[in-house]
Amino acid sequence: MSYISSPFRKLTLGAAFISTLVACSGQPEAPAEDPVAPQEQSALATRVVGYFPTWNGDVNAIQYDKLTHINYAFVVPTAQGGLTGPGSGDSRLKSLVQTAHARGVKVSIAVGGWNDGNDSGFEQLSANASTRTAFVNNLVNYVTQAGLDGVDIDWEYPDPGTSSQNFALMMKELSTAMHSRGKLLTAAVVASGSTGGGIPTATFADVDFLNIMAYDGGYPHSTYNYAVQSLDYWLGRGLPKDKAVLGVPFYGRGPNSYVGYSTLVARDSQAPYKDLVGDVYYNGIATIQAKSQLALQRGGGVMIWDISDDATGSASLLTAIAQAVQGGSGPTNLLANSGLESGSLSSWNSEWHNGTAAAHKVDTDSPYTGSYKLTHWASAAYQQVTGQTLNVANGTYRASVWVRSGGGQSALRLYAKNYGAAEVTAEIGSGAVSGWTQYTINNIPVTNGFIEVGVYSNAQAGNWAAFDQFELVKL
């Protein structure tokens, strides 16, 4: 599922296979001894697909109520159309299927994976009619014996041309075999680019949906804009919206590292509230929820690589996804144009500044999420306020904003005032803030029906600060 090879991904053919390596032929194995529990319908109204690796994670720790589908990853194809990896009678797979089905969650077997960039099994089996058929028959047997709901093909990656044509033939045959038995057929696909062309448009009709791997496309890793570009690519090629499932990572990438999200949280307790720890970029809660909303608006659900790397409690990214797709991501944000996505200062005041000209603007240079952010900067020393004044019900409020800064300011702060008591602030200070960081003012007691919220800079020439995703919510 990762575009770039990493030591972690090499486990696909390492520890995972040492104890479970088998070759599956077309002959069925003995059926499972215990019947699969009756399935209930998942409580989620939209698709949330989680990959669960064969080598990591606890089946009993999965938050099944926050998923609709689980892809067990991986078995790997051979050139003759056989399968290597956990067999259909594997005890861990059996436990996963029984537990998931009892919670109304579907389980598919994921076939392939990064596999150190070695896709020779797919290339060879798909090039011959007899080995294609053997492969399909082996998967039918595997799905039947394990009590699975379908197959997810993760060929990384069929190239345009002959490889693509063979992929189409293989998927057509798999589609007939799976759908005639009431089973799912899905596939994981690259975010965009030349290898995306290896997935022919004709295959769109053969799959129930595509899992779009919108990560590992460069550094910084897996930005919001990259997710937008990925959906633009696939929808632009004619993939139906309902079949476009947007992939999000539960891991981060540095220049030379691959780090699971739970490890990042263990390193930094504030990791859930930002997207950078050290030199490792990842998706924190705000970005994950923004992408989940994007997936609801423009696609057919959310996919995760992989759920075994999630953190627990309030830091859980899967919980954040469930909140977003269920419309329960939190209280209503009362600020208008809170992410500056109008591309202008609409709804924000622009009159107060101390200098020859206003020192704030909306631009597109590396926003936190979306396409725009607010910047304070001037070529001469300046003071600048950017804020909103609102009529609100009396009560207790929380204000927050995401910030980056080059440092050097005499003062830099988030403020709330004119709410019936003295001004309160969250001081950002004069030090550089290299990665997007959230600053928050909690428990603001509004007593007069008004509040002004904004940011203030008192800066030297050339000092800059960037702001995104302002929020004001009633507690």
Cβ atoms of 388 and 452 closer than 8 Å: yes
Q: Which two tokens stand for residue 473?
A: 């919510």
Q: What is the pLDDT of residue 205?
A: 98
Q: Examine the domain organization and report whether 319 and 442 are in the same domain.
A: no
Last residue of one domain, picked from the residues 305, 325, 345? 325
Q: Examine the domain organization and report whether 89 and 206 are in the same domain.
A: yes
* 412 in a structural domain: yes
Q: H or E segment at 140?
A: helix 129-146
Q: H or E segment at 27?
A: none
Q: Examine the domain organization and report whether 93 and 195 are in the same domain.
A: yes
Q: Examine the domain organization and report whether 366 and 466 are in the same domain.
A: yes
Cβ atoms of 437 and 359 closer than 8 Å: no
Q: CATH number of the domain that 294 lies in?
A: 3.20.20.80
Could you give the C-alpha distances from 72 to 63, 220, 312, 381, in angstroms and in order? Answer: 15, 28, 21, 58
Q: What is the pLDDT along the chain (475 residues), one digit of tens a residue?
A: 643 333 333 333 333 333 333 333 333 333 333 333 334 445 566 899 999 999 999 999 999 999 999 999 999 999 999 999 999 999 999 999 999 999 999 999 999 999 999 999 999 999 999 999 999 999 999 999 999 999 999 999 999 999 999 999 999 999 999 999 999 999 999 999 888 999 999 999 999 999 999 999 888 999 888 999 999 999 999 999 999 999 999 999 999 999 999 999 999 988 988 889 999 999 998 889 889 988 998 999 999 999 999 999 989 999 999 988 886 545 678 998 999 988 999 889 866 777 768 899 999 998 988 789 999 999 999 999 999 999 988 999 989 999 999 999 999 999 999 999 999 999 999 999 998 888 989 889 999 999 999 999 999 999 999 999 999 988 7
Q: Examine the domain organization and report whether 28 and 117 are in the same domain.
A: yes
Q: Examine the domain organization and report whether 319 and 391 are in the same domain.
A: no
Could you give the C-alpha distances from 440 to 109, 319, 403, 446, in angstroms and in order? Answer: 43, 21, 11, 16
Give residue 433's domain range: 353-474
The strand ranges marked E within 165-255 are 184-190, 209-213, 244-249, 251-254
CB count within 10 Å of CB 410 equals 12
Could you give the C-alpha distances from 464 to 363, 382, 388, in angstroms and in order? Answer: 13, 11, 21
Q: What is the pLDDT of residue 369?
A: 80
Q: What is the pLDDT of residue 3?
A: 36
Q: Examine the domain organization and report whether 164 and 282 are in the same domain.
A: yes
How many domains does the chain divide into?
2
Q: Examine the domain organization and report whether 147 and 277 are in the same domain.
A: yes
* 345 in a structural domain: no
* 346 in a structural domain: no
Unique residue bearing structure tokens 């300046």:
382
Cβ atoms of 403 and 465 closer than 8 Å: yes
DSSP code per residue over 100-115:
HHHTT-EEEEEEEE-G
Last residue of one domain, picked from the residues 286, 308, 325? 325
Could you give the C-alpha distances from 408 to 38, 224, 386, 426, 457, in angstroms and in order? Answer: 63, 29, 19, 17, 10
Q: Examine the domain organization and report whether 292 and 401 are in the same domain.
A: no
d(CA 441, CA 444): 7
* 336 in a structural domain: no
Q: What is the pLDDT of residue 44?
A: 65
CB count within 10 Å of CB 273 equals 18
Q: Examine the domain organization and report whether 53 and 198 are in the same domain.
A: yes
Q: Examine the domain organization and report whether 294 and 362 are in the same domain.
A: no
* 105 in a structural domain: yes
Looking only at the bridges linking them, the beta strands covering 464-474 and 373-377 are antiparallel
Residue 369, helix vs strand vs coil: coil
Q: What is the pLDDT of residue 31?
A: 33
* 342 in a structural domain: no
Q: CATH number of the domain that 447 lies in?
A: 2.60.120.260
Q: Examine the domain organization and report whether 319 and 365 are in the same domain.
A: no
Work out the widest C-alpha separation in the chain, in whole angstroms. 82
Cβ atoms of 474 and 334 closer than 8 Å: yes
Last residue of one domain, picked from the residues 281, 310, 325? 325
